[in-house]
């Protein structure tokens, strides 16, 4: 088995950055170089001020501070890093296609293809290529074809090694992974490549948690794992709607069903809707793949998970509008939280975007506070929807760094991300300075019902009548 001494990772994003930092930390004798075509991003990874790394993840800056310049490097010299490494991770973005065949559903593989062509061009000796991005099934085959047909007659072994880290707990998830999945060919060289990658993870994980499969199972497992997780959230969210019409309480239901060991207690928190770069994209991929094989019932089944999620977001926004007497035009509504979950600055597919958009359609005056998301990001998310002009978005919505101050004379507050700091606020002071009746719409079930009502709020908690 080839000993791995140099690893290159193409793509310094949410997946590549944290994953490679952890590999560098756990394998001090391996040199890890993360490359990206985006100079700004690489500069940010190389910043002296570790508080301004491009990605916020608890525990990340400590590891980067410890390993950077020793065996962890961030660079734009893509070709050099490819040339030197025995193992190359592809960790570039695979957004949903916005054009052509599969628009709105299939993954856009153009960044992957560019990477594969680049590797083929540069490589002068045998390489193990690891696909780390979330990809539709059979992408490994496409990468293999490109490499075999355009390369310099060197041998490439392609592995699928899907990422299961969740943002906000990425470092913890990587260090204490439930399992690592390595898919590869069943040939002797495929087996050697799988073992070589396995050896990297065995630096810190027990061997029995490293599962080897064929390539297709590995690729599909990633989509299915995310589809199952998203399905749990949509399932509990549909029940939250039913709870609001009856005297049942969603938390009591989550607890009751979670005690069944076949169901389990995790991932049963009702919310304003799931977001993040993976769930929706992966389900759309699954749906697209199923349809392309003529499996329409399978596709319809999984598509329903997304339909239910969209329903949850619009239901939440509609409830705000109807509670505020069906007119929110010119009313000041403060949004607490823009990230798709706490402890991350990532906003991709965040429920907050859809809720804000619906409220803006009714001409509300929106003020957003999020402890980690930048003003530029918030406007970029809204502008991307194209619902109204960028000027209008900036006129109707403002971003603040003063969460308490801005509640003065507000009609309502909507909690859309479960940031811990919201629990520590002095809600009595907030109540006093808001217009009455003062509404709080809690899309994350963060606050205590009785306390909020005692203060005087009209308090709505998702999943509770």
Active site (catalytic) residues: 278
Tell whether 260 is in a known binding site: no
Q: Does 38 bind ligand ADP (CB under 6 A)?
A: yes
Among 37, 80, 164, 249, binds ligand UDX (CB under 6 A): 164
Residue 268: name its binding partner from ligand ADP, ligand UDX, none (Cβ under 5 to 8 Å by kind).
Answer: ligand UDX
Q: Does 52 bind ligand ADP (CB under 6 A)?
A: no
Q: How far is the CB of 445 from ligand ADP (least distance, A)?
A: 27
Residues 6+ apart with CB under 8 A from 331: 324, 364, 365, 411, 412
Residue 403: name its binding partner from ligand UDX, ligand ADP, none (Cβ under 5 to 8 Å by kind).
Answer: none
Instruction: Tell me the Cα Rg of the chain.
Output: 24
Site string for ligand UDX, 224-263 (x = CB under 6 A): --x--x---x------------------------------
* Residue whose CB is nearest to ligand ADP in the complex, by number: 13
Residue 115: name its binding partner from ligand ADP, ligand UDX, none (Cβ under 5 to 8 Å by kind).
Answer: ligand ADP
Q: What is the DSSP string of 107-164?
A: B--HHHHHHHHHHHHH--S-EEEEE-S---TTHHHHHHHHHHHHSSS--EEEEE----
Alpha helices (H) in 202-249, listed in sequence order: 215-245
Tokens 């994350």 -> residue:
444
Tell whether 41 is in a known binding site: yes
Residues 6+ apart with CB under 8 A from 225: 162, 164
Nearer to ligand UDX, 163 or 370 (CB): 163
Q: How far is the CB of 125 from ligand ADP (least distance, A)?
A: 20
Q: Which long-range contacts (CB under 8 A, 24 or more apart) does 48-54 make?
A: 53/17, 54/12, 54/17
User: Closest Cα to residue 243, out of 405, 24, 445, 451?
Assistant: 445
Q: Does 78 bind ligand ADP (CB under 6 A)?
A: yes
3-state SS string for 281-335:
HHHHHHHHHHHHCCCHHHHHHHHHHHHHHHHHHHHHHHHHHHHCCCCCCCCEEEE
Tell whether 183 is in a known binding site: no
- Residues 241-300 contacting ligand ADP, CB under 6 A: 277
The secondary structure element, H or E, covering residue 256 is helix 250-258
Q: Does 167 bind ligand UDX (CB under 6 A)?
A: yes
Among 111, 336, 422, 459, binds ligand ADP (CB under 6 A): 111
Token digits of residue 83? 């040339």
Among 21, 133, 231, 393, binds ligand ADP (CB under 6 A): 133
Q: How far is the CB of 431 from ligand ADP (least distance, A)?
A: 39
Instruction: Tell me the CB-side half-sphere exposure of residue 12, using CA atoms within 13 A.
Output: 26
Question: Looking at 12-20, 223-231, 361-369, 394-402, which segment touches ligand ADP (CB under 6 A)?
Answer: 12-20
Q: Does 19 bind ligand UDX (CB under 6 A)?
A: no
How far from 365 is each of 176, 219, 328, 338, 351, CA to CA, in Å?
44, 44, 8, 16, 18
Residue 269: name its binding partner from ligand UDX, ligand ADP, none (Cβ under 5 to 8 Å by kind).
Answer: ligand UDX
Q: Does 163 bind ligand UDX (CB under 6 A)?
A: yes
Determine the Cα–Cα distance for residues 55 and 17; give it in Å rounded to an integer.
8
Tell whether 348 is in a known binding site: yes
Among 5, 47, 93, 238, binds ligand ADP (CB under 6 A): 93
Contact residues toward ligand ADP (CB under 6 A) are 10-16, 35-38, 41, 78, 91-93, 111, 114-115, 133, 277
Contact residues toward ligand UDX (CB under 6 A) are 163-167, 226, 229, 233, 267-269, 271, 274-276, 278-279, 340-341
């Amino acid at each position: 088995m080839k000993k791995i001494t140099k690893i290159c990772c193409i793509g310094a994003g949410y997946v590549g950055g944290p994953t490679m930092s952890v590999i560098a930390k756990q394998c001090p004798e391996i040199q890890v170089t993360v490359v990206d075509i985006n100079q700004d991003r690489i500069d940010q990874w190389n910043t002296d001020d570790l508080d301004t790394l491009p990605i916020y993840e608890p525990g990340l800056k400590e590891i980067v501070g410890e390993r950077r310049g020793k065996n962890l490097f961030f660079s734009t010299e893509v070709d050099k890093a490819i040339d030197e490494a025995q193992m190359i991770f592809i960790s570039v973005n695979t957004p949903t296609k916005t054009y052509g065949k599969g628009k709105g559903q299939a993954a856009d593989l153009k960044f992957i293809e560019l990477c594969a062509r680049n590797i083929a061009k540069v490589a002068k000796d045998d390489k193990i290529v690891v696909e780390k991005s979330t990809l539709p099934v059979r992408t490994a085959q496409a990468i293999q074809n490109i490499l075999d047909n355009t390369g310099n007659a060197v041998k490439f072994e392609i592995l699928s090694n899907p990422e299961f880290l969740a943002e906000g707990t990425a470092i913890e998830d990587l260090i204490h992974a439930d399992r690592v999945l390595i898919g590869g060919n069943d040939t002797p060289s495929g087996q050697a490549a799988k073992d070589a990658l396995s050896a990297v993870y065995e630096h810190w994980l027990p061997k029995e948690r490293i599962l080897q499969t064929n390539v297709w199972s590995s690729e599909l497992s990633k989509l299915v794992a995310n589809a199952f997780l998203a399905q749990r959230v949509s399932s509990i969210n549909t029940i939250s709607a039913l709870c609001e019409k009856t005297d049942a309480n969603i938390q009591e239901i989550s607890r009751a069903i979670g005690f069944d060991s076949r169901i389990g207690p995790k991932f049963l928190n009702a919310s304003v809707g799931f977001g993040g770069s993976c769930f929706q994209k992966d389900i759309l991929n699954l749906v697209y793949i199923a349809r392309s094989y003529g499996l329409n019932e399978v596709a319809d089944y999984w598509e329903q998970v997304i339909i239910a999620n969209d329903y949850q977001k619009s239901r939440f926004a509609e409830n705000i509008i109807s509670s505020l007497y069906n007119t929110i035009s010119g009313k000041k509504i403060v949004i607490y939280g823009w990230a798709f979950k706490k402890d991350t600055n990532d906003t991709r597919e965040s429920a907050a975007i859809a809720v804000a958009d619906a409220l803006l359609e009714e001409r509300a005056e929106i003020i957003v506070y999020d402890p980690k998301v930048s003003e530029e990001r918030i406007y970029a998310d809204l502008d991307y929807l194209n619902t109204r002009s960028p000027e209008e978005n900036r006129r109707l919505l403002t971003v603040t760094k003063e969460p308490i101050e801005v509640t003065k004379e507000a009609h309502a507050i909507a909690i859309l991300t479960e940031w811990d700091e919201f629990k520590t606020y002095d809600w009595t002071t907030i109540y006093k300075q808001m217009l009455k009746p003062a509404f709080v719409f809690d899309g994350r079930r963060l606050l205590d019902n009785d306390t909020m009502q005692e203060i005087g709020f009209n308090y709505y908690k998702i999943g509770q009548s």
